[in-house]
Amino acid sequence: MAKQLRVGIVGTRRGQVFLGALTGRPECEVVGLADRDPARLSEAMKLCPQARGYCELDALLAEERPDVVIVATDAPSHRDHAIQSMEAGADVLSEVPAAFTAQQHLDIVVAAARTGRRYSMAENCVHWGFIQTWQQMVAAGQLGEIAYAEAEYLHSLPDRHYVDAEGRYRTHEEAAADSTIKAVWRARFHPIQYLTHSLGPILWITDDRCVSVSCLATPAWRDPMCASPDLEAALFRTAAGRIIRIVCGFNVAYPAGHRFSLMGTRGTVKWDSFGEGQPRMWLEGNNLTGWATVPWSTERVDGPEEARRSGHGGADWYVAQEFVAALGRGDAPPLDVHRSMDLSLPGACAAISAERAGEAIPIPDTRDPAQVAAWLAKGYTEPWPIGRQERTGW
């Protein structure tokens, strides 16, 4: 039997999803939970009474010496917590994005190579049912060569930009009148930096990577004080020559949801969660006079009931299961450190492009030290963080 893995989870708000996904796996034992918020930590420990609770990750690492750490803290902490965990001897599954700046992404790659630990980013959307179906269709050649793909992630968050000293959300107007109210991380970044739920599935389906990006940003009309653009649109060129368009916006008045489309030389597929119509498909030569509606959904049909009960259409369950199963076999996870960077690093490069009025920015392949060195030699100024001082409390 494979060695039992001692697992630590840092950040118990989002971390509870992974806690639930790992419950009952014989090769796993959750030994420690860490969170700076005592109430959140107490709630998580009720779900996992055998685990010990900690206020900081370093204490969990020193006392429990976990084999695996799941990083589920606020996004600005991902890079530091991942590297800290790898340096303590743990393999890492990190929430998205992997980091915010390109340099932070490269730091993770260097740390993984230096420590010999396995790193994976927890991109859940690649496990949606329709994404799995599209991957099979592309592999079978049903759509021909994918020439163009696009995805949108729009999510209006008008009152989730500022918090007071107790961590309660406050409005823009309250923050403008009270300097003790600080911005949270999502108010201080380029929205395109949070693109992995959109770009990730497309690259997963096509087995491709991005090599350059041009990105345009709107002004911060919704909240000039936080300075985060209302919406950004990025155009990527891939290694295979494809074009990918990604739109992300969190300050536009639009219901939360995603939209995807793949256009190939033999067919096109479309899916959206905005309630504007059913998923659609058109295959050339299949006697289709127009769009065919298809009952695709986020849920996968090949999973157990506990998967369907987990978040994001069951996708959260698969992320944790796949990672732990790979470690138990002694394998690299499917989204290893370089593939994780393929999905996340383009967002950091797109933010640089947005700051430079859409200038085309190369995206280095982290597998190639020469590309990385050449990219670093360009000396780009990286726009993170922006706007008003933030409060970090995980």
Looking at the fold, whether 100 and 244 belong to one and the same domain comes out as no
Task: State which residues form the domain around 79.
Answer: 5-125
Give the pLDDT score at 111.
98
Dig out the tokens for 24 from the structure.
Answer: 């009952």
Choosing from 70, 96, 125, the residue where a domain stops is 125
User: Per residue in 227-276, pLDDT tens?
Assistant: 899 999 999 999 999 999 999 999 999 888 999 999 999 999 999 987 66
Give the pLDDT score at 286.
80
Looking at the fold, whether 120 and 173 belong to one and the same domain comes out as no
User: Per residue in 193-229, pLDDT tens?
Assistant: 999 999 999 999 999 999 999 999 999 998 888 889 9
Q: What is the mean pLDDT of residues 16-41?
A: 92
Q: What is the mean pLDDT of residues 144-150?
A: 98
Looking at the fold, whether 163 and 102 belong to one and the same domain comes out as no
Q: Which of 168-182, 277-291, 292-306, 349-363 has the highest mean pLDDT?
A: 349-363
Give the pLDDT score at 308.
74
| Among the listed residues 380, 349, 352, the one whose alpha carbon sits nearest the alpha carbon of residue 365 | 349
CA angle 190, 191, 195 (to 5 degrees): 120
The pLDDT of residue 7 is above 90? yes
Give the pLDDT score at 364.
98
- Number of domains into which the chain is organized: 2
CA-to-CA distance for 70 and 6, rounded, in angstroms?
Answer: 11
Q: What percent of the chain has pLDDT over 70?
A: 98
Dig out the tokens for 257 from the structure.
Answer: 């949801």
User: Per residue in 298-353, pLDDT tens?
Assistant: 988 777 777 777 777 778 999 999 999 999 899 999 999 999 999 999 999 999 99
Looking at the fold, whether 119 and 143 belong to one and the same domain comes out as no
Whether 319 is covered by a domain: the verdict is: no
Looking at the fold, whether 269 and 167 belong to one and the same domain comes out as yes
Looking at the fold, whether 242 and 366 belong to one and the same domain comes out as yes
Looking at the fold, whether 292 and 215 belong to one and the same domain comes out as yes
Please report, for residues 170, 182, 228, the alpha-carbon distance to residue 174 in angstroms, rounded to integers and kept in the order given: 6, 10, 18
Looking at the fold, whether 130 and 108 belong to one and the same domain comes out as no
Dig out the tokens for 382 from the structure.
Answer: 């990286």
Looking at the fold, whether 208 and 68 belong to one and the same domain comes out as no
CA-to-CA distance for 307 and 301, rounded, in angstroms?
Answer: 10
Neighbours of 180 (CB within 10 A): 9
Whether 324 is covered by a domain: the verdict is: no
Q: What is the mean pLDDT of residues 34-55?
A: 95
Give the pLDDT score at 1.
44
Left, alpha or beta for 190 (phi > 0: left; psi -120 to 50: alpha)? beta
Whether 282 is covered by a domain: the verdict is: yes
CA-to-CA distance for 59 and 162, rounded, in angstroms?
Answer: 29
CA-to-CA distance for 290 and 241, rounded, in angstroms?
Answer: 28
Whether 56 is covered by a domain: the verdict is: yes
